[in-house]
A and B are shown apart, each in its own frame.
Chain A
């Protein structure tokens, strides 16, 4: 069964500092990997995804993530945090080869930005 583990339920950084949110996955086959963002009182929206090809994926709002098969990781980064980045971030995984179409979400990491 596939799963994702997000290290750290809460991360706090200063405005302008590097953002690093960690995600490790477990999958027996090359997975599809995603990062979603949830702003207060809203649904989740896709930030970026990795399916095949280039392992460094760029998303919206200056975020990017790198798929590292050897480390089974898909960490999310942004060079310089902005106040508007404060939200909850979810890593997710799916198995593209499966007849099922489930996307499994991690437990989420709440990102706070200090002025």
Chain B
């Protein structure tokens, strides 16, 4: 079975532009998480979904960030407008019954650079 698939792997954009990151979770998984990783702040949970419904978005930095999960096989994280401080690696992870298994399956990440 394919793992979690993220696109793009690398994105370079200019300040003020809209950025959309995409994630396809593992088929059958009912939880999806978006994390951001930076040297300064480590790995931060931004938002997570259960059965396509956003459960906790308290980690989303500000209104410029939004995430959607229109169906069980696709999620997006959008930044509009982007700023240089948004430069980071964004990871998507999925899980089956995370409260029981506790295991997350991560994608390879999307490295975002905002100039």
**B91 touching A94 by the CB < 8 A rule?**
no
Chain-B contact segment, one of A16-24, A41-49, A65-73: A41-49
Asked whether any CB of chain A lies closer than 8 Å to the CB of B93, the reply is yes
CB A115 to nearest CB in B, in angstroms, measures 26
A44 proximity list for chain B (CB < 8 A) = 43, 91, 93, 104, 106
Alpha-carbon distance between A42 and B9 when the two chains are bound, in angstroms = 10
**A49 touching B103 by the CB < 8 A rule?**
yes
B42 proximity list for chain A (CB < 8 A) = 105-108
**A100 touching B4 by the CB < 8 A rule?**
no
Alpha-carbon distance between A44 and B91 when the two chains are bound, in angstroms = 9
**B107 touching A51 by the CB < 8 A rule?**
no
B104 proximity list for chain A (CB < 8 A) = 36, 44, 46, 103
Contact with B along A78-109 (1 / 0, CB 8 A): 00000000000010001010001111111110
> Which residues of B from 44 to 63 have beta carbons under 8 Å from A?
45, 48, 50, 55-56
Alpha-carbon distance between A87 and B56 when the two chains are bound, in angstroms = 30
